[in-house]
């Protein structure tokens, strides 16, 4: 046991303090090396995540369409149960329910007025779904630009440090290179997240819009039948 504790002659002693710098750099330390530009980029990142999650939950809950929804409405209208059809639409508690609730409530008016109601209320509901999506588009454009600003700031820092030391070495330029690379990468990542979220959410809205147009066409087709048209008038 004593021999095990005695260092071998000629072998370099292990310095415990020299092991610490070999540890991998923490994420916070890496972000901190990006400089002040990382503050607005980080704020944009969290805001973009919040907007994507909030809009996705809202769009998901308001664009659920039962496959039998329009068939049930058409059957009630053909049977003359206008109040039942209106209550059925109201109980859906989503965008398509509110749209057809207003349209069914206009039955008895000229066909053009009912069609105009569908278009007007439909536009209102689509606007509610698209609310604040423009912010994601703005973030998708601003975040990479902030990263470019960080790149310029890092280059300025490199030349400033060189001017102070009158020496070009890896140690002198490392700080500016960290700032340049980290801010550029972070800005691009945030921009890609916001850009992807913006277009995915718009795809969901476009899919709902197509369903709305199909259901509206089927609903108006029922009202324009000769037997039903006479009843509506």
Tokens of 139: 């973030």
Tokens of 143: 């975040």
Other Cβ atoms closer than 10 A to 196:
14
- Residue 23 vs residues 26, 33, 38, 103: alpha-carbon distances, Å: 9, 17, 23, 66
Helix (H, G, I), strand (E, B) or coil at 107: strand
pLDDT in tens, the chain (233 residues): 344 444 444 444 444 444 444 345 565 555 656 567 788 888 999 999 999 999 999 999 999 888 888 898 988 988 888 899 889 998 888 999 999 999 998 888 888 998 899 999 999 999 999 998 999 999 999 999 888 887 777 677 666 666 666 666 555 555 556 666 778 888 899 999 999 999 999 999 999 999 999 999 988 888 877 444 445 44
Beta bridge partners of 109: 107
Q: Measure the CA–CA gap between 221 and 74, rounded to whole angstroms.
A: 10
Residue partners of 216: CB distance under 8 A and separation at least 6: 99, 103, 118, 122
Other Cβ atoms closer than 10 A to 209:
15
- Could you tell me how many residues make up the chain? 233
Helix (H, G, I), strand (E, B) or coil at 172: helix
pTM across the whole model: 0.74
- Residue 168 vs residues 127, 129, 154, 182: alpha-carbon distances, Å: 57, 55, 15, 21
Residue boundaries of the structural domains of the chain:
37-56+67-232
């Amino acid at each position: 046991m004593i021999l095990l504790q005695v260092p071998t002659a000629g072998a370099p002693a292990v310095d415990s303090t020299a092991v610490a710098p070999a540890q991998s750099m923490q994420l916070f330390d890496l972000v901190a090396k990006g400089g002040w530009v990382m503050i607005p980029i980080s704020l944009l990142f969290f805001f973009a995540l919040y907007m994507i999650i909030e809009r996705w939950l809202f769009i998901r809950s308001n664009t659920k369409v039962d496959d039998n929804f329009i068939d049930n409405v058409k059957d009630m209208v053909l049977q003359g149960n206008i109040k039942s059809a209106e209550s059925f639409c109201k109980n859906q508690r989503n965008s398509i329910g509110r749209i057809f609730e207003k349209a069914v409530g206009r039955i008895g008016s000229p066909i053009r007025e009912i069609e105009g109601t569908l278009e007007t209320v439909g536009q209102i509901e689509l606007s509610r779904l698209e609310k604040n999506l423009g912010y994601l588009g703005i973030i998708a454009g601003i975040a990479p630009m902030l990263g470019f600003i960080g790149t310029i700031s890092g280059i300025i820092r490199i030349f400033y440090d060189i001017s102070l030391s009158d020496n070009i070495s890896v140690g002198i330029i490392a700080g500016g290179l960290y700032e340049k690379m980290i801010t550029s990468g972070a800005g691009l990542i945030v921009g890609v997240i916001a850009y992807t979220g913006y277009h995915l959410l718009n795809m969901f809205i476009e899919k709902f819009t197509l369903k709305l147009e199909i259901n509206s066409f089927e609903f108006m087709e029922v009202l324009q039948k000769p037997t039903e048209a006479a009843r509506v008038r």
